[in-house]
Amino acid sequence: MPQRPEQKSEPITIPAALQSAHDGFLRHMRLERSRSEHTLRAYSSDITNLLTYAIPRGAQTLEGIDLPLLRTWLMTLQESGLARATLSRRSASIRSFLAWALRENLIDTNPASRLQSPKREQRLPHVLQSNQIQRMFDAPPRPTNQGNTDTKEPTAEERALADRNTLILELLYATAIRVGELVSLDIDSLDLDRRTLRVIGKGDKERTVPFGQPALNALDNWLRRSRPTLRNEHSGPALLLGKRGKRLDARQAREVVSKALADLGDTAARGPHALRHSAATHLLDRGADLRAVQEILGHSSLATTQLYTHVSVERLKESYQRAHPRA
């Protein structure tokens, strides 16, 4: 089986011209396209993977990367067992990189413009049933790391963390925002009278998202009773706080959601995206307009939102198979 390009026995030195192009592209994506650090890391990994494959094959500049080399690179990755989703992402990264290089006059032609990659598998996301959502919110809230195990009465800090965890779940399901958007919220992102959030999404695009009465109740408990318990000089304007009073990070929020979903015991769904998927699907199941859901989710393309219509159809088919006497 061919070896993956990144598993070379000896480290490969990237020539200055290629390293400069790599760094310039990332700088462009950070400063001019406002890409997240997570996305920048993926770009860097994908481009470096290609360069370390291309350099031993004679490419010392970008002009040395041609279409046959790109195709053999992708074929090698595919034969090594890399997932189709990763292959698709890597080829998309390289297309963006070389398109930028063409605009910057670093190359005369873009060989990646004719590069085809395997289509991503369109797996339907895990979607929670309405009764599972209700059970999740009915469960007694508690912090993920229960420190006070010797006494029955929770401390003020434990009550505050429990209220925060409830708010995390309520906001993620009520608004279908991403976990990164959630932990980036400040107090002034809220409009409690109108029951809306001002969210900064991908590409620094701002959108307004509504939420319902249960989320408003959770916000009231958190702001009035529990946030002051955790707040300190490090808190700043952050809406959600960690145990030490600093802004909550995405990893901690994921732990809260994964724990709540695992406690249900009857779903494979894990992590904040499961609540985002579920909220979008439930909205469409109950007749919400597709473009309204697109706006709530912050999708730039309606085609991305249409995935949830397929989820709804699958759920409909499952119900039909279970219930219809001649299914």
DSSP string across 155-174 = PHHHHHHHHHHHHHHHHHHH
Name the active-site residue from 90, 159, 164, 178: 178
Determine which of 94-98, 209-213, 285-289 has the lowest per-residue pLDDT on average.
Answer: 285-289
Sequence-distant (6+) residues with CB within 8 A of 37 are: none
Q: State the pLDDT confidence band at 6, using cuts at 50, 70 and 90.
A: very low
Answer yes or no: 308 catalytic. Answer: yes
Name the active-site residue from 28, 89, 202, 254: 202
Give the Cα separation of 159 and 221 in Å (integer). Answer: 10
Answer yes or no: 38 catalytic. Answer: no
Answer yes or no: 234 catalytic. Answer: no
Residue 275 CA to chain centroid, in angstroms? 12
Name the active-site residue from 35, 95, 276, 282: 276
Answer yes or no: 299 catalytic. Answer: yes
- Cα–Cα separations (whole angstroms), residue 175 to 159, 168, 256, 311: 24, 11, 17, 19
Which of left, alpha, beta for 105 (phi over 0: left; psi -120 to 50: alpha)? left
pLDDT at 8: 45
The angle subtended at Cα 262 by Cα 258 and Cα 264, nearest 5°, is 125
Give the Cα separation of 160 and 172 in Å (integer). Answer: 18
Q: State the pLDDT confidence band at 118, using cuts at 50, 70 and 90.
A: low
Give the Cα separation of 292 and 22 in Å (integer). Answer: 38
Q: What's the pLDDT tens digit per position in 189-243?
A: 999 999 999 998 877 788 999 999 999 999 999 999 999 999 999 999 999 999 9
Q: State the pLDDT confidence band at 5, using cuts at 50, 70 and 90.
A: very low
pTM for the model stands at 0.62
Question: With pLDDT > 90 as the criterion, what percentage of the chain qualifies?
Answer: 53
Q: What's the pLDDT tens digit per position in 238-268?
A: 999 999 999 999 999 999 999 999 998 888 7
String of DSSP letters for 121-160: P-PPPP---HHHHHHHHHSPP--SS----S-SSPPHHHHH
Q: What's the pLDDT tens digit per position in 123-153?
A: 556 788 888 999 999 886 665 555 444 557 8
Name the active-site residue from 95, 159, 277, 299: 299
Answer yes or no: 310 catalytic. Answer: no
Q: What's the pLDDT tens digit per position in 42-71?
A: 999 999 999 999 999 989 999 999 999 999
From first CA to last CA, the distance across the chain in angstroms is: 46
Name the active-site residue from 43, 53, 173, 308: 308
Answer yes or no: 135 catalytic. Answer: no
Name the active-site residue from 4, 254, 273, 315: 273
